[in-house]
Structure 1
Amino acid sequence: MSSPKVRASVVAAAAAASLAAAPPATAETRTTWNGAWTAAAMRPSGSPWFATWAEQGFADQSVRQIVRVGSGGAKVRIRLSNAYGAAPLRITGASVGRTATGAAVRPGTIRPLRFDGSTSTTIPARGRTVSDPVTLPTKAREQLTITLYFKGATGPTTHHQLSMTTTYRAAGDHHRDTAGAAYTDRIEPGFGSWYYLEGVETSGGRPQPRAVVAFGDSITDGFGATIDGDDRYPDALAERLLAAGRPHPVLNAGIGSNKLLSDSACGGDAGVSRFARDVLGQPRLGTAIVLIGINDIQLPDDRMCGVDRDDPPVTAKRLIDGHRTLISAARARGVKVIGGTLTPYRGSAGWTAGGEEIRRQVNHWIRTSGAYDAVADFDRALDPTGTGRIPDGLHMGDLIHPSPAGYEAMADAVDLGDLRR
């Protein structure tokens, strides 16, 4: 296995390549853009747990997606990704507006989006693009509705599998509709996904503190939170900051089933691979909170995704080396990095005594090594007495994923003073 220094240089190189692949500079180069929302891109593989539209894609359909932004401003623009596309992607039309109820947009707020002056754009396979900015005053924790219209067939889509937010679909071109009547399609029971939408950025207005990016797996992504409730742990942290008069954008870069060391067909690229794109590529990044590794421990293969493949054996040392890789890459970019202790999972389907010992060793290193700039003790937040089990009321019923109350307890474990301004 390569040294942490070598692997950190690989992550840093990937970050540079990611930034080099960004859209070319425009007249907006001198404008300060703040990351307001993000979703980590995934390949269009099937999920054993959630239905999505990713594999079938879209054709002569409008897709309406709702996000809650973490920073306000006078102008808005969106980032779109075709990172896992096998062919160029044609966006025929797009719009943004303030969310009303369901798929409806508040009257008078919908803004058509352009791309280099055009109402449509083509994103190359494995490429990305950013829209031209539009004037739309926003404030932190406000919901925006983004609509994309695809006239031609997209094929399988780059997406984010688990949004915990309802996404709507309509036949035909309805990207400028204020009403939501045409958006009769949604996936039940409503866990939702985001499609092609990689980020939302804001500029203008009051200066914003630097962004906080929460990086991890489904416990960061928010499985177990309230559908359409925006009460994942990064949401609860954003609300704490807003109440304290320090409204940092808190960007959620979690992926359900994600692993630190191994790629997964339905759980996304390994954390050590995607950290550069999903964390270090965010605008005005100040702090990263890292919580990842429990899936490496409890899911030692990719059979959950229908793939007959075993991961290399996981040890505490390998996980610690992976964490050191992320720390080195973040520090090389001047980013403050907070280590989150791995949360309890005793009693869940994947628990083993051997896995529990690995979790204990990794958590001991996170707490005592000084490798991270600070520690968020999520383990103790969910299990104050150290039993290794999340108590009833703080998990969603499976003894591994927190409930909304558990997510709030996790957010309370982050010392606001540890976040870089």
Structure 2
Amino acid sequence: MKIKRTMGAAAAAALLATAGITGTGAGPAAAQAPAPQQCAASTTVKETLPNGTTWQLCWRMHAKSGLVLENVSIASTRHPQPVRILKSLTLAQLNVPYDSGETEYNDITEFGFGGEYLQTLAGDDCKGGSARVGSDGGAEPQRRKVLCVGAEASGLAYHLANEETPGKPYAKQGHDLVLRALSRVGWYEYVTEYRLHDDGQISARLGATGDLSPIDFTTPDKGWPIGKGKQAYATNHYHSAFWRVDFDIAGGGKEQVEQYDSKVTGPGSVSAKIATVHKTIAKEGSFTKVNRRWWRVVSPGAKNADGHNRSYELVTGANDVYEAHPETVPDVTFTQFHACERYATGNADPQCPGRRGIVDYALRPETLADPIMWVRVGFHHVPRDEDQSPMPLHWQGFDLVPRDFTEINRLAPPALSGVNGQN
């Protein structure tokens, strides 16, 4: 019997009102950016944040993957034409092995975040937000309150003080459009959260809460003492989460993947000289971060007003590697799109015989004409007394940061709209 943990959902409707959020549109689509594909009104999120950024997307619940975002586009006061960013974004696996070597789960493919595991939102799960009703994605789908949509203040968006602004700097508070769903798998409860920032950044996060498994206790070398004295040791374990990201920048598809490396080349007159070089990743493969290495997915055809190719950069934060599995070692894997390649591991689609996961997908290796990005973020959970009970929410995830998507800061004040380059 499986026993695990997850967290509650939060934030949306009342806060939409208090934050001044409306459902207004963002103007006609740009010629180079087709209008976002439509979905049913009940599965559409279209909200304008206080700073004028409008996010629009479709959402649905999948029996295994849980919350799926599709056809994600953005517009803003300065850039009113909606521009597509993503075709889809979803969880693709959650691997949970215990340090005792006696327990391991793959929560997405063995259980799932939808259907019977998807929780109905109630109480404080979506306090201050709007709980949306939709299908839970189960074998016998039920319509319930399963998605929390809200606006949340994100803190200071920028601050600029100079000789032109004595005593009155340029400053603005930011806001995020936040979508959350809550799933319970055994003792753990998980929050699938996507934060769509008003500056164009997208943050994918997985939160874990619930309770420690009372049947998974171990010895001192593989756990942490929980309770009175040193008698009961809660087992250390891993959460290796995978996301599947399918870009569709400006509706053009056919993105390219680039890797950037910056290396010290020698001493300079004051500081070290560092040279930055990049290469195009033309074939499928898995890649690992080193110091000053990063990746971006770039559109070969869509450009901003400065004539620079639009792209999104992958930014990873705290990240623990689980060395025991080949798929949990790389930070990111890029593969050519195939509809049947849906999960990072445990892929059982009969249309993909012999392709069980990203290790198999990347073995061919095919040319990346339509790349899929698989992001792995690991967390080694060493329990503590404070984890009982309920367990405080802990997070793991990554950011997709716009790079040259617009010619200047999307939120820049009108007085600085001409500050672009050396002028």
Bin for the TM-score computed over the shorter chain: under 0.3
What is the TM-score normalised by the length of structure 1?
A: 0.26
What is the TM-score normalised by the length of structure 2?
A: 0.26
> Whose helix fraction is larger, Structure 1's or Structure 2's?
1
> Whose strand fraction is larger, Structure 1's or Structure 2's?
2
